[in-house]
Structure 1
């Protein structure tokens, strides 16, 4: 290979790596607490929790709101424009991906992921 081809290949690989790091940074966001999400409304984050027991999800036009409960029983309201998953009410855990809105005092989720109770879990006898 001549030097021009090697140089072009190195530049191409550098651009691919830079694109992944810059554009894909939100894909690698770790789970954060409700408190962190509320304190950093400009950050795109993933928050894990469970569906609030006593507060049903409310459908509002194009989307729905619901309340999440965290590990320390703290609560946070969330809204998404997505369709509600069929297994939403039966999910053990929820993961919401998006940003907290200070103006509306609600977490605006681009995605809502559910973790369902597994029918394949071993029973402890």
Structure 2
């Protein structure tokens, strides 16, 4: 075999190995029930759970605990996933800015079976768009075409 063929085979083998390792680390979108079943089965891979913050009638986040004077790296709140399953979420980092204004929340992590809560490694927020049409006035004008 020529050296160029051997180098090409090595490059292809490295590319295939990288693709396989990336696929193995990929997390999946799920709900709290499926995340619990995965944890019970011994699967420690991270999952993405999409949902909304549980709020009371006044718009306050229910179950929110953040006391930076005691522990600035612990934030807790209640979340309802897309299938209406409810769970406590614990985030061992500071509270994200503008969390109260978010429409949807994606938490990335795994279920803690011992304490019965979802332990988030990451929180992704979908905030209200500044481009929404609320308060937008539309003026219609008539054009005369000759």
Deviations 1:60-114 (A, max 9, x none): 5122111111234320111112222211111101101111111111111111000
Stretch moving more, 62-71 or 110-119: 62-71
Take 1:119 and 1:65, find their aligned partners in 2: how far apart are those partners? 28
1:39 maps to 2:50: no
Stretch moving more, 85-94 or 48-57: 48-57
By percentage of residues, which structure has more strand? 1
Larger radius of gyration: 2
Structure 2 unaligned segments of length 5 or more: list them. Answer: 57-61, 138-146
Which TM-score applies when normalising by structure 2? 0.72
| Post-superposition offset of 1:5 | 2.9
Whether the 8 Å CA contact 2:103–2:127 is kept in 1: the answer is: yes
Residue in 2 aligned with 1:17? Answer: 16
Which TM-score applies when normalising by structure 1? 0.83
Secondary structure class of the residue paired with 2:13: helix
Deviations 1:41-66 (A, max 9, x none): 12321110111113142125122111
Secondary structure class of the residue paired with 1:98: strand
Take 1:110 and 1:20, find their aligned partners in 2: how far apart are those partners? 24
Residue in 2 aligned with 1:66? Answer: 77
Take 2:116 and 2:49, find their aligned partners in 1: how far apart are those partners? 15
Spell out the pairing of 1:44-123 with structure 2 (5 A cutoff): 44-54=46-56, 55-59=62-66, 61=71, 62-123=73-134
Structure 1 unaligned segments of length 5 or more: list them. Answer: none
